[in-house]
Amino acid sequence: MIKILVIIPTFNEVENIGPLTEKLLRHPLDLEVLVVDDNSPDGTGARVQSLAGQDPRIHLIERSGKLGMGSAHREGLRFGLAHGYDRVMIMDGDFSHDPALVPEMIRASETADFVAGSRYVPGGSTPDWPWHRRFLSRGSNVLSRLVLGRQLHDWTSSYRCFRREALAALPLDRFQSDGYAFVEELAFAVVRRGFRVAEVPITFLDRSRGQSKINRHEVGKAVWNLLRLGLRRLFLKS
Ligand SMILES: Nc1nc2c(ncn2[C@@H]2O[C@H](COP(=O)(O)OP(=O)(O)OP(=O)(O)O)[C@@H](O)[C@H]2O)c(=O)[nH]1
Ligand SMILES: [Mg+2]
């Protein structure tokens, strides 16, 4: 059976992380979970540590403070490479990404090097969002398709699955963004290298517990990063 790692970055997800890891580990797959926690004040790290004591399939990287979601993804991806997993997945720790879709993402990865859970292919949706949030996300994906390419319909989704070989080809140390912008930068690096991509439709639900961490500063940084990647695409053809 293929070895799967699911990375979950967390900052204050103490109510979500237990039920989420439980659902993930119930799949009849050779699957392990890595939580990358940024010393959450609500005690997420301690909760995960106690879960890890009961189940060796749960791993924890505890960092000193809030270093950003993108840098947590990066740290998790490095762990995945170092420990020989065949597939490395990433998902949010707030149930916005349905853990029941893991087998479908893994199936899609049989013929794709990179699978994105997508809100913007037929069957995908964001039913909970007010119009302004839809507008922002849709708008940034329209822009991303113009700037980065048409290979993906959802460049900013952080529900993902990598085949090991694709991940190993990426220069993880050279990525410049640490926050939400990293998500796009990573997908762009995959596409630029000509890897096979696939999208699985997802219904993105709002978190029912805990607080949102996205803010205007992060959105601004993501827009700036998009422009930077676009310029690179224009001037560096490789
Ligand atoms: N390790 C780490 N995880 C983070 C950080 N910021 C956010 N996260 C986690 O990244 C995932 C996505 O963040 P969310 O706060 O849900 O952001 P969002 O999904 O854009 O916003 P909402 O769904 O509206 O709450 C969640 O699991 C967060 O706990 C961070 O600085 N460090
Ligand atoms: Mg969320």
Residue whose tokens read 């992380």: 17
Say whether pTM exceeds 0.85: yes
The CB of 92 under 6 Å from ligand 1? The reply is yes
Give me the pLDDT at residue 166, please: 97
Residue whose tokens read 């961490």: 213
Residue nearest atom 22 in ligand 1 by C-alpha distance = 212
Letter for the amino acid at 196?
R
Structural domain count, the chain? 1
Residue whose tokens read 């950003």: 68
Supply the range of the domain harboring residue 86.
Answer: 3-235
Letter for the amino acid at 122?
P
Residue nearest atom 4 in ligand 1 by C-alpha distance = 69
Using the mean position of ligand 1's atoms as its centre, give its distance from the Cα of residue 68 in Å.
9
**Rounded CA gap, 20 and 93, in Å?**
7
Nearest ligand, CA 213: 1
The dihedral formed by the CA atoms of 137, 139, 144 and 146, expressed in degrees to the nearest 10: 160
All residues at 6 or more sequence positions from 131 whose CB lies less than 8 Å from its CB, including other chains:
none
Which of 44-53, 54-63, 173-182 has the least mean pLDDT? Answer: 173-182
Are 81 and 162 within 8 A, CB to CB? no
Letter for the amino acid at 133?
R
**pLDDT (tens digit per residue) in 54-102:** 999 999 999 999 999 999 999 999 999 999 999 999 999 999 999 999 9
Three-state SS for 9? strand
Burial of 150 (0-12, 13-18, 19+ CB in 10 A): exposed
**Rounded CA gap, 211 and 214, in Å?**
9
**pLDDT (tens digit per residue) in 192-212:** 999 999 999 999 999 988 887
Q: How confident is the model at residue 172 (pLDDT cuts 50, 70, 90)?
A: very high
**pLDDT (tens digit per residue) in 119-166:** 999 999 999 998 888 988 999 899 999 999 999 999 999 999 999 999
Give me the pLDDT at residue 237, please: 61
The CB of 9 under 6 Å from ligand 1? The reply is yes
The dihedral formed by the CA atoms of 42, 117, 86 and 150, expressed in degrees to the nearest 10: -130
- The CATH number that applies at residue 166 is 3.90.550.10
Looking only at the bridges linking them, the beta strands covering 30-37 and 3-10 are parallel
Using the mean position of ligand 1's atoms as its centre, give its distance from the Cα of residue 211 in Å.
9
Three-state SS for 105? helix
